[in-house]
Amino acid sequence: MGLTDYLVIALIIFIALLVLIPIALFVYLYIKDDRQKQHAILRNFPVLGKARYITEKIGPELRQYLFHNDNEGKPFSRKEYQDIVKAGKYNERLIGFGSTRDFNAEGFYIRNTLFPKLRDEMKVDNIEKIKTRVYKSDGENLFTRKEHSEERLIDPYFLRDEDAVIMGERTCRQPFKVKGLIGQSAMSFGALGENAITALSKGLGLAGGTWMNTGEGGLSQHHLAGKPDIIMQIGPDLFGVRKPNGDFSWEEFKKKSEMEEIKAFELKLAQGAKTRGGHVEGEKVTEEIAKIRLVEPGKTINSPNRFYEFDDVPSMFDFIEKLRDVGGKPVGIKIVIGDLDALENMVSYIKESGKGPDFITIDGGEGGTGATFQELADSVGLPIQSALPVVDEMLKKYDVRERVKLIASGKLITPDKIAIALAMGADLVNVARGFMISVGCIMAQVCHTNNCPAGVATTNKKLQDGLSIEEKYFRVCNYVVSQREGLYNLAAAAGIDSPTKFERKHIVHKDELGRISPLEDILHAAKRTQLQKEG
């Protein structure tokens, strides 16, 4: 046989395999589907029924990228996602042609003035510049996008010293002074990987005037990488400040309070959105995480849904007083508003006792979480735009508003949303998912699986390799600075010289019929309804 004959035989075999392998695979799948009893669709329509499950699996991606318009999609629309990416990557928020907001729908609007403030009339501290990197587009078509990053000096948009927000000014030996109104909400190391935490730390440290909340998972070396100001959160399982038997350790707490980077402590009540209590599988409790949390490596953790150290307002306030006395730094609480009677009981005790937190972080029911049950995420706790004015009003009612700062949290990812929260009573604003997106999150919504494809919400080393710390931390810096700049733009439009001066009078609510209601009127109407019920 010659070479040609061998080639012909090889070609015949190759063609036969091309035909027989798919047929064999089809027969195998057909028999497998027909015999299984778990799925009725596959049993009735072997092989063909797989199309349903394939489409269902890729459905979220199809909706996000192909079928939803820019203003659809939950928890964030494509437009909201792009707004965050643009601010982080290019340090800009410019759009062309016009807004895509649905102006027929109800919503809040910021009241502009006929005579806005000029740029040189704004009370802003832009003396020291920030050296960052931003992207510049060189051209974009259907198949390629050419861009490069370049160094740029940008204005920090700090508050002036006289407008800075100070927590614990009258109660602490070491108050926390903040020159920016936006910080990173609680996200634990373990829920986010070391690359994401490190990039966030370096970006926030570069931006300055902001803070990083550790989440309940304790303080790690990755949080300290960029030397940002840190609020250390303490959850019911006391990670990082506990004894081997699980009791609170005043010795460990004192060690943390002596660290220069830690500026304040936050007690997380009722596990926030995880009212069930936290859960970490033993396989995730690595040697590093165990050392940080002061627990046993490899052992599953089931956190309680409240602290054992206190079970009512007086005992909680006594615990807070001791934390403040030992640590010398501000102590706050993080709550989700639901029971208004319990809220009033707490606020009245602040007035009566002279004790209580230096700040209250209000987490809206719409806020994010690494993992919780559907019923808790969807229906427990009021959204931030309902909860925030209630707490602000309650503190004013008992004349304790000046001593307690309010931090608002819950999908406040753009300057307009942040400004509305400030006008509703917030002193400061926490952002979580905005920072996650700036560091690379693509909203895959698999945070609870440890399989985040962007390497953000995962401890998988292979997946984390895709997240470049040295590239992403500039985006974190640009994002927060861009938000601060946007706040000053809105303040000027409203006729005030600093975003710290936003008040209820600066926003109105428009209903679906076009009727305008000042926020004050809405609150007064709600108060009248409550009085009528009580009467």
Cβ count within 10 A of residue 332:
26
Identify the pLDDT of residue 78: 81
Residue 75: asked if its preceding bond is cis (omega within 30°), the reply is yes
520 vs 527, higher pLDDT: 520
Q: For residues 401 and 406, what is the distance between their CA atoms, to the nearest angstrom?
A: 9
3-state SS record for 419-487: HHHHHCCCCEEEECHHHHHHCCCCCCCCHHHCCCCCCCCCCCHHHHCCCCHHHHHHHHHHHHHHHHHHH
The three-class DSSP label of residue 263 is strand
Amino acid, res. 527: K
CA trace torsion 54, 59, 60, 61 (10° rounding): 80
Say which residue, 251 or 38, is predicted with more confidence: 251
- Looking at the chain, the whole-number percentage of residues with pLDDT higher than 70 is 92
Under 8 Å between Cβ of 434 and 441: no
The pLDDT of residue 317 is 97
CA 57 to chain centroid: 26
Q: How far apart are CA 349 and CA 352, in angstroms?
A: 5
Q: What is the pLDDT of residues 427-465, one digit of tens each?
A: 999 999 999 999 988 888 888 778 888 889 888 889 988
Evaluate if residue 276 carries a pLDDT over 70. no
If one compares 184 and 281, the residue with the highest pLDDT of the two is 184
pLDDT tens digits along 92-133: 888 888 888 888 889 999 999 999 999 999 999 999 999 999
Number of C-beta neighbours around residue 492 at 10 A: 21
115 contacts 495 by C-beta, under 8 angstroms: yes
Task: Provide the angle, in degrees to the nearest 10, between the axes of the packed helices 384-397 and 415-423.
Answer: 30
pLDDT tens digit string along 131-181?
A: 999 988 887 776 777 888 899 999 999 999 999 999 999 999 999 999 999
pLDDT of residue 212: 97
Q: Looking at residues 479-503, what average pLDDT do you find?
A: 97
Q: Where in the chain is the domain with CATH 3.20.20.70?
A: 153-502
Greatest distance between any 2 Cα atoms in the chain: 106
d(CA 468, CA 433): 18
Question: Minimal CA–CA distance to 203: which of 174, 226, 172?
Answer: 226
Residue at token pair 């040609």: 4
- Is the CB of residue 405 less than 8 Å from the CB of residue 362? no
Q: How far apart are CA 75 and CA 94, in angstroms?
A: 23
Cβ density class 80-93: b for 16+ within 10 Å, e for less:
bbebbbbbbbbbeb
Average pLDDT over residues 261-281: 78
Dihedral of alpha carbons 185, 191, 192, 193, sign? positive
pLDDT of residue 368 exceeding 80, the answer is no
Residues 6 or more apart from 155 whose CB is under 8 A from it? 124, 126, 129, 130, 481, 485
Rg (CA), the chain: 27
From residue 282, alpha-carbon distances to 194, 297, 343, 523 in Å are 18, 7, 36, 48
Q: 535 versus 380: which is more confidently predicted?
A: 380
- CATH T-level topology, domain 153-502: TIM Barrel (3.20.20)
Q: What is the DSSP letter of 133?
A: E
User: Is 60 exceeded by the pLDDT of residue 527?
Assistant: no
Angle between helices 194-207 and 469-494 (to 10 degrees): 40
pLDDT at 324 over 90: yes
Mean model confidence pLDDT for the chain = 88
Q: What is the DSSP letter of 412?
A: -
β-sheet bridge partners, residue 242:
248
pLDDT level of residue 3 (50, 70, 90 thresholds): low
Question: Which residue is associated with the tokens 């009580």?
Answer: 534
CB atoms within 10 A of CB 297: 13
CA dist., res. 360 & res. 362, Å (int): 6
Confidence of residue 412 (pLDDT cuts 50, 70, 90): very high
- pLDDT above 90 covers a percentage of the chain that reads 52
Measured between alpha carbons, how far is 505 from 391 in angstroms, rounded to an integer?
17
Q: Report the alpha-carbon distance of residue 520 to residue 518 in Å, rounded.
A: 5
Nearest-angstrom CA–CA distance, 76 and 88: 17
Averaged pLDDT for residues 198-222: 96
What pLDDT sits at residue 454?
87
Cα 384 from Cα 424, distance rounded (Å): 10
User: What is the C-alpha to C-alpha distance for residues 406 and 425, in angstroms, rounded to an integer?
Assistant: 7
Give the pLDDT confidence of 49-98 residue by residue, as tens digits: 888 777 777 777 677 777 677 777 777 788 888 889 889 988 888 888 88
Residue 133 region by backbone torsions, left for phi larger than 0, else alpha for psi between -120 and 50, else beta: beta
Which has the higher per-residue pLDDT, 312 or 282?
A: 312
**Residue 390, pLDDT above cutoff 80:** yes
